[in-house]
Amino acid sequence: VTGDVDVGSVAAFYDHPSLLYMFWQHGLGTLLFGGFVVTFRRYLLGMASELADQALIDVATVIAAAVVPLGLLELGLQMAMVDVAHANSLGTLPALFSSWDWIYNGMFYCLEIGWVGAFNLAALRTRALPRWTAILGLVVAAFHVFHSLVLILGLSDQLTLPGTVLFFIWFLATAV
């Protein structure tokens, strides 16, 4: 329902208390992402002999680490929307939804531009990942520049699907 200003649509989407369990599990996954960041940093640093590459990896790590608290915040906002929608207390729903939407469908993309771009530039320079994987990561970061503008430009969220699919492919390839 991103970008939707119809309170009824937002309420219908979130009026399912079982979503609380899904968002809680997603919170645990967000914490696991922190483990990925630390592990990937250590791997890349082991391949980086140049100070510039080490600095780039550290910058990527700082940006990626910001995903964890921001991710938990956006999940908390979604859990609050479940409560508000289920209680039929729709007066606060638009503000909660707008806050969530700008965090999740706006600012997260900015973070992903930074950490995906910097990690993959370092991986390309150090040859820590196969060349195609690092280049795919840079393509993903470029897509996220567009994604970060979708809400501002009032475009359909559907336009982010190709870049999101590439992001999942990159993440899976990198994890493997």
**8-21 tens-digit pLDDT:** 999 999 999 999 99
d(CA 173, CA 176): 5
Spell out the residues 6+ positions from residue 91 whose beta carbon is closer than 8 angstroms to its own: none
Scanning 5-66, the segments in alpha helix (DSSP H) are: 7-14, 19-47, 51-65
Whether the per-residue pLDDT at 176 is higher than 90: the answer is: no
Does residue 89 carry a pLDDT above 90?
no
Write the single-letter amino acid at 124.
Answer: L
Rounded mean pLDDT, 54-62:
98
- Mean pLDDT, the chain, integer: 95
The answer to whether the CB of 124 falls within 8 A of the CB of 62 is no
Evaluate whether 86 touches 11 at the Cβ level (below 8 Å).
no
Residue 90 has pLDDT above 90, yes or no: no
Record the pTM. 0.89
pLDDT value for 133: 98
* CA gap 159, 118 in Å, rounded: 24
